[in-house]
Amino acid sequence: MWKLRDIVVAAILSVVCGAIYMGWDWITNPLFASTMSPIVGALVNGLWWIAAGLVPYIIRRPGAAFFSEVVSACVEFLFGSPYSLGAVISGLVQGAGSELGFALWKWRRYDLIPMLVAGALGGVGNSIQWYFEYQGDQYSIPVIIGYTLVTMLSGAILAGALPKWIGDALLRTGTLRNFEIAKQRR
């Protein structure tokens, strides 16, 4: 059962993540994707669904990954992302991917393996959108496969392991005492 504090904390963290996405939108493309290659650009993709790892890791509720990723994507859009409504669609597909990862363990396990898998599956959602919306279909097959694999790897690290690390650091500050992450630890 979602408690009100779970929802509000999910919303606040999503907003913070949305702001990060917005910055990431403007920085990454010039730095990586355009100058080197789409595959190199895919290395940094995972950060775009960090909320879908961080929020479920803390509040541990079914739907947390999807909810937070959609909210953070909407915030990214509101802040003036160059992807505009495309960002909202990203939120839907990336969030659905990560949610699927947590669903595989019936929303009961949140240790490293499920986190990595959820992050990687978020990358699948990302790659599907890239293929259809961002002209991914115009690249050669090896590039498309490479892009997808690197995106999944990036998701596992940046949207799986990194949020777990942040969540653990937050847990040590004692501020998460009333949340599921701390309760399951006891």
Using CB under 8 A, list all residues that contact other proteins.
2-5, 7-16, 19, 26, 29-30, 33-34, 37-38, 67, 71, 75, 77-78, 80, 82-86, 88-89, 132-135, 138-140, 143, 166, 169-170, 172-176, 178, 186
Burial string for 38-67 (b: 16+ CB within 10 Å, else e) reads: bbbbbbbbbbbbbbbbbbbbbbbbbebbbb
Local structure of residue 161 (DSSP, 8 states): I
Question: What is the closest distance, in whole angstroms, from the C-beta atom of residue 100 to other proteins in the complex?
Answer: 21
Q: How far is the CB of 25 from other proteins (least distance, A)?
A: 8
Spatial distance between the Cα atoms of 24 and 72, rounded to a whole number of angstroms: 13
Mention every residue, 6+ apart, whose C-beta is less than 8 A from residue 23: none
3-state class percentages of the chain: helix first, strand second, coil last, to nearest 5: 80, 0, 20
CB of 75 to other proteins, least distance (A): 7
Q: Which is nearer to other proteins, 109 or 136 (CB)?
A: 136
At its nearest, how many Å lie between other proteins and the CB of residue 80?
A: 8
Nearer to other proteins, 10 or 117 (CB): 10
Of 105 and 129, nearer to other proteins (C-beta) is 129
Please identify, using beta-carbon distances, which residue of 15 and 120 lies nearer to other proteins.
15
State how far the Cα of 131 lies from the Cα of 62, in Å rounded to an integer: 28
Which CB sits closer to other proteins, 58 or 117? 58
Least CB distance to other proteins at residue 62 (A): 13
Based on its alpha-carbon atoms, the radius of gyration of the chain, rounded to whole angstroms, reads 16
